[in-house]
Structure 1
Amino acid sequence: MSIPKEPRQLMINLMYLVLTAMLALNVSAEIINAFFMIDRGIEGSNNVIDESNEFTLTALEKNAEQDLSKYRPLVDAAKEVRILSREFNTYIDSLRQQLVDATGGYYPEDHEKYAGRPKGYKNKDITTRVLGEGPEGAELKEKILNSRQELLSVINQLDGTEGTSINEESLAELEKSITLNISDDWETKVKKPVSWQHFTFNHMPLASTFPIFRKFQNDMKSSEAAVLNYLVNQVGATTFKVDNFIPIASAPKSYVIAGEPYKADITIGASSRSVYENMSIKVNGSSLNVEDGIASYETRTSGTGVKSYKVDITLTNPTTGEVETYSKDFEYEVGRRSVTVSADKMNVFYIGVENPVSVVAAGVSSNDLRVSGSGGGLSLSRAGNGKYTATVSQPGEAKITVSGGGLSSTSFDFRVKRIPDPVARLSRSSGGEMGNGEFKAQQGVGAFLDNFDFDAKCDIQGYNLVYVPKRQDPVESVNPGARYNDKSRRLVGQAKPGDIYYFENVKARCPGDKAGRTINSMVFKIK
């Protein structure tokens, strides 16, 4: 907007700007009142959560009294979480007070209009200078992230201690319920890269930081509640409640080779030591020695095939006091050693691509196998259980040798070939008649590996394009690469019915090729 030359018009414009500013101030007052209303609401919610957390800690201490030596780590962890929460909230309170003190403190409680409100509630400079651009903003972000990690560390330190049943699944669920964090969503809302603290606090009135700070405290108290509830559940999780018994047989191998012994550990599916008192275990009617609820069973194997045995477990139910017997049949299979090696896609290894290979040895663990390769520049890398990837570099013969696990050394031969010649095409055609419009729409020549099972791509290195207009002399263009060069494009653009185009000396290079190879030529007649 240009500055008017007439004093009267200049005065009118200035009055308009002043009026606009006054309207903006009125809107800001309403928003600022909303900030303090939200702040008071979150504060009330925080007080409720804090009281609930104190009750949860008391309940945990009470539940832990059933076996204090066992559950003492849970109680100590809960107290540590409470300390972390209080320290974090004290830090937030001190940061809020720092900003208020820097802007003149609070209005007195008996003030007619702004009782208890900070005097600098509209001040944007202090939030920008201290939080948006100052070190305190970065420190706040670091405090939030570190406090979250410390909450998780309290649980991780319990791993392996008596009275806890920590696993990856339950820990992942707990991590999701800890809301204290710095989200990355704000990065998608800015046009240019800025820091989190700049995005959150830059040019924000002091009043707006009150609900933000209170929200951080709410996140910490909610996260504290999640961890405390998790710890309380650990007491329930480790308290055994007998309601069912299932015989269990645990064998190192369910498939054994003829002549080898079959071994299995047999027990009952219960976790209370009281279950193991007066327990007896029988296999096919013969009693076994039981120690701590576990009996070892061993028998010789001879013929191949599926074998079975019956388990009878007799015990006193600690809930009812009644003697009960549980029975179940178990099976295992006896086989003989053998090995096969197969290329997963073809009985050939191709140069320039990864050739998947499966190695299966009946009766031998894949961890005990030794697999090696030779010939054809063969290199083998393991890609999983019984899976390998073979790469080759020279045409001829290659060999894979398998041994180990009691298996005699066995070799398997494979042919090594180059990738087959690709087919040159314009769109879907390798020659013949083509419509004028379709021909002109092509951008160049492509090389296609038809009916080839591997994920490989060949590139066109170049070709000679010969244009023979109807009843005129031919014109040639030497075209490097797949796409038409300028001259080739001009020749293609002149196509009309009756003209003939020759694509000769077409060169392509496929993965593993040291030099280009000549592939099929093409002839098109324009219709």
Structure 2
Amino acid sequence: MSLPKEPRQKMINFMYLVLTAMLALNVSSEILNAFKTVDHSLKTATEIVERKNTDVFKSFKRKFDDPKTHEKAAIWMPKAEKAKVLADEVYNYIEGLKLDLKKESGLKTENGQESFKEDDLDAPTRLLVSMPPNGKGKGNELFAKLKQFRDQLLAIDPDIKKDVGPNLPLDLSIPPTKNEGGKDDWAFTYFHMTPSIAALTIMSKFQNDVKNSEAQVVEYCHKEVGEVEIVYDEFKAFAGTNSQYLMPGEELVITAGMGAFSKAAKPTITVDGTNVPLNADGAAEYKATVSSPGANTKKVRITYYKPDGTPAVVEKEVKYTVGVPASMVISTDRTRVFYKGIENPLSVTGSGGDEKVQVNVEGTNVAFSKAGPGQYIVKPNQLGSVNVIASDGKKTQKVTIPVKRIPDPIAIVGGSAGGTMTANVFRVQTGVIADLRDFVFEGIKFQVQSYMVICTGKGFDEPEFAQVTGPAFSGGASALIKRCQAGTTVTIGEIKLIEPGGGTRKLDQNITFILQ
């Protein structure tokens, strides 16, 4: 259709074309942020796979050194190592390509922080799609390297090609989209007029596919030798009492025995939610200055790996007693702080009995009540500090107690905060739960307000998103989850919670599941 010759109409049509072009080039910040969330989650998922591969190779080494499994390990370990070499080579190539794209998009580094034009639509086209002299055509080179990696990986062993090949996560088929001019071009489909941050996310996706493909081959080789083993190679005698403070007529209980430890078991030990590092003997030693009079309890949680490689958790209670001095004592019953939005117990004791003790609480937006003799409840609704002033007629004591927010819970699905999960198990999960682990107060719960579900990998030609309100999978999220299969990566991010006592909070945590 020819343009009209009338000057005014020519100008109107020209302005329309300019406006249309500007709208086409305008990429919203929400879309850019979504791609950044996906990119971060893909990197996290790749790190999980890499750690898993490292553990399998450690098991391979033990089996290679064990005379009983040396013969099989000598056959399959080199094949697994070959898969790792091939994967590392193409992974590092893509990492270099990502740096080239950032430079094409005006990369600057200030105070150690990188910045570039994330919504640049021309840079990915120049670097990856357009051929010389207008561009560099790196997309065809990327496709060739990925195809070569897939072919060489499956050529390591005929059984690997037969058993692993059909479900290999690396899929190089062209998504069924309508390309400009009927182009049937892999690089054009993925990178033509794509924002830089989206192109980087796509490359992170292929890096994740490469590492997942490596993991499947390495696991296959390992299973041909045997499953992961954990050897308990360190021992320590232990003895403990039920109480460190006893009165005449009270029972003394001593528990003693031998403990077996393994560095490969990687135990994680917390006391009342505080992580305690291991000493040279492989045991955790917790020290604290006690202040709360009467009987006290510390909750110990030990997370470790069993001999078959599966995780396990053991929870113990360590009890002790603190004597009551004759002078005035103000004590938070369980912590040295008050937590915002919940009822915090407070004990005040003094000479002369409870009827002579006067207690006052000073602070902004704080509720205070007496629960019984010497027992009080303090509920602060604002961060900062609270002053507790107590007097028994002879002595007055003032204690300033900080008010902190309740620690962040962990978002979980099906009892897991991410990692690998079989696709059929993931599809039957009902939603996201906020799990407040190892918190000193029991019964404190966060409610899930909203979150975003992002699916990539097998079954999804490009990242697909769904916003969810409430904890349960619903609407578009349910439809996405039904399509998940082995090789899909599911990320749950932008998690917002309703705090105990009111208020909202956004978790920094993203959950990433690699489905098998």
Tell me if TM exceeds 0.5.
no
TM-score (ref. length: structure 1): 0.37
Where relative contact order (Cα < 8 A, 6+ residues apart) is larger, the structure is: 2
